[in-house]
Structure 1
Amino acid sequence: MTTTVDRIAEEAERLTTTIAATDPSAPVPNCPGWTAQDLLAHVTEVHEFWGQLLATGARTDEDSESIEAAKVPMPEGDGAVEALVPRRQAATATLVEQLTARDEAEPLWTWFSADQSVGFARRMQLHEATMHRVDAELAAGKPLTPIDPEVAGDGVAQVIEVMHASAYDWIPEWATVEQLATLTLTPTDAGQPVEVEISRWGGALGRATARRSAPSSRDRCRPTPTPGACRTPAHPPTPPRSTCGSGAAASRSR
């Protein structure tokens, strides 16, 4: 029986093999501005970060930030892909080892406030590796390797339950949320329809409130997860875009 951890390792290896045989400067269609080399560096960085989170038993923002601050820069220029391949393999080996050794319910820092567990990391890393393997095959112009139906179905659920829902973590307390529409997703093969509420937040922060709030520079402009954006919030990244103010879209399932 193929486990989630097995699939993470398989997808990461398939991605690496594909990129190693591809022009490192090849653009990644689903990730505007990224090259095949950037994609391999991203997956390497993600696996290093989560492997360290698990190995150290990180529980707080401070724990995750210290790991982020200590990361080793990715290689660049000629020969970067050749240097990244063994580094990615080592990072994935550590991640797989840590995930295998830990229980689903074990506490762990994650960027999703509703689920601070090893189980969240295991599920997220499966979809991270699968999504980016597809990105690698698109960059290489290769036929897409089919995704296991069970993984694909859970990937849709992950988008609804986590990626969209996490946008609510970034809405300021002073904002108001306006429902715009309800989207019904109906699977064609299995499962029940799911309704997704599409909303928009907005409002004005008064001067008195602003003085009381006095957010730090770190909190003043926090990234808003964007459905469809290539860089997922696997760790505190430089986001594809950030939102400070009104008009950000959010959604949640019901």
Structure 2
Amino acid sequence: MTPTRLATALRHHTAALAAAAATTDPDARVPTCPDWPVRVLVGHVGQAHRWAASIIRTGPSAVPDPFTADPGSPSSWPAWLSSGAAELIDAVSTSDTPVWTFFGEGPATFWLRRMLNDTLVHHSDAAGATFSVAPDLADDAITEWLELLAHPVTATLKPDVTALRGTGQTLQLAPDDGPGWHLTRTPSGISWTRDSAPADATLAGSLRDLLLVFTRRLPVDQVRLTGDRALIDHWLAHSAA
């Protein structure tokens, strides 16, 4: 994923999220984020873009509370969200040194990719059944989430992922429209490869639907499941995005 592709996609999905959110009651609860009203969902996305931009420019700071964000009135949401995305894209494009990430110093594009994939998922929260995503973006969002889950530092940030450790149990994500992922639960954490080896449990479907099931935005019965259902349920219970 080139920086240009990431930036174009961030602009698109930020605008699409704004359009979907602006047609709903700002105080209505988001079904897939039931603790958040729509206003907080919008506030979180715009706040997160600005937070990531500030990390690139001035260094790390505390993760902001989405309930403190002020996106303004619904009529101003599109412009406010667009401005935050533009701020992040500009920060990335003008950065020429490594920046802080959760996993040590890395390129500024880490934050462009991370915020795009966060925005993708929250666009689905706002849009519901009308959500659509290009296959290459859905593929990269699943891949990035597996990279995050497999990183040793993640267990210190999200202790629940230690429950994904195992004794060789395997899962397969098998998209209809691209190569799959083969996941193994090991005593030290998860490992994964891009192949279609046999597995104890398999989820198959479109990349869009696999992404939404994987991030618990769709129920498992929206894709095709074969093998050990309890293994899938356990994975989803401890790997929430």
Q: Which amino acid aligns with 1:143?
A: T
Q: Pick from 128, 145, 152: which aligns with 2:118? A: 128
1:147 aligned partner: 133
Structure 2: which amino acid aligns with 1:120?
A: F
Aligned pair 1:169/2:171, yes or no? no
Instruction: With a CA cutoff of 8 Å and minimum separation of 6, indicate the structure with the bigger relative contact order.
Output: 1
Check whether the contact 1:107–1:116 (CA below 8 A) recurs between aligned residues: yes
User: What's 1:117 paired with?
Assistant: 107
Query: Structure 1, residues 73-124: CA drift from partner, whole Å, max 9, x if none?
Result: 4238xx6434554433322221121123336xx411122x166331211211
* SS at structure 1 position matched to 2:175: coil
The 5 Å alignment of 1:27-46 reads 27-46=29-48
1:184 positional shift: 2.7
Deviation at residue 44 of structure 1 after TM alignment:
1.2
Please tell me whether residue 8 in structure 1 is matched to residue 1 in structure 2: no
Instruction: Describe how 1:100-249 pairs up with structure 2 within 5 A.
Output: 100-102=93-95, 106-111=97-102, 113=103, 116-138=106-128, 143-144=130-131, 146-163=132-149, 165=151, 167-170=154-157, 179-180=166-167, 181-197=169-185, 228=215
Number of paired residues? 190
TM-score normalised by length of structure 1: 0.61
Counterpart-to-counterpart distance in 2, 1:39 and 1:171 = 21
- 2: CA distance, partners of 1:143 / 1:170: 33
Tell me how far 1:195 sits from its aligned partner: 2.0
After superposition, the C-alpha distances for 1:128-179 in whole angstroms (9 at most, x for unaligned) are 12111111112xxx622x211111111111121114545333488xx99952
Once the two structures are superposed, residues 6-54 of structure 1 have per-residue CA deviations (whole angstroms, 9 ceiling, x without a partner) of 1101111111122122111222121122111111011011011011112
Q: Confirm or deny: 8 A CA contact 2:40 2:69 kept in the other structure.
A: no
Higher helix share: 2
Tell me, in whole angstroms, the C-alpha distance in 2 between the residues paired with 1:9 and 1:118: 17
Sequence identity percentage = 23
RMSD: 3.6
SS at match of 1:33: strand
2:69 paired with 1:74? yes
- Partner of 1:32, secondary structure, is strand
Higher strand share: 2
Structure 2: which amino acid aligns with 1:134?
S
Deviations 1:204-227 (A, max 9, x none): xxxxxxxxxxxxxxxxxxxxxxx7
Q: Give distance in 1, aligned partners of 2:28 and 2:35.
A: 10
* 8 Å CA contact 2:28, 2:38 repeated in 1: yes
Q: Structure 1 residues 115, 29: CA separation in 2 closer, same or farther (over 3 Å shift)?
A: farther
Structure number with greater Rg is 1
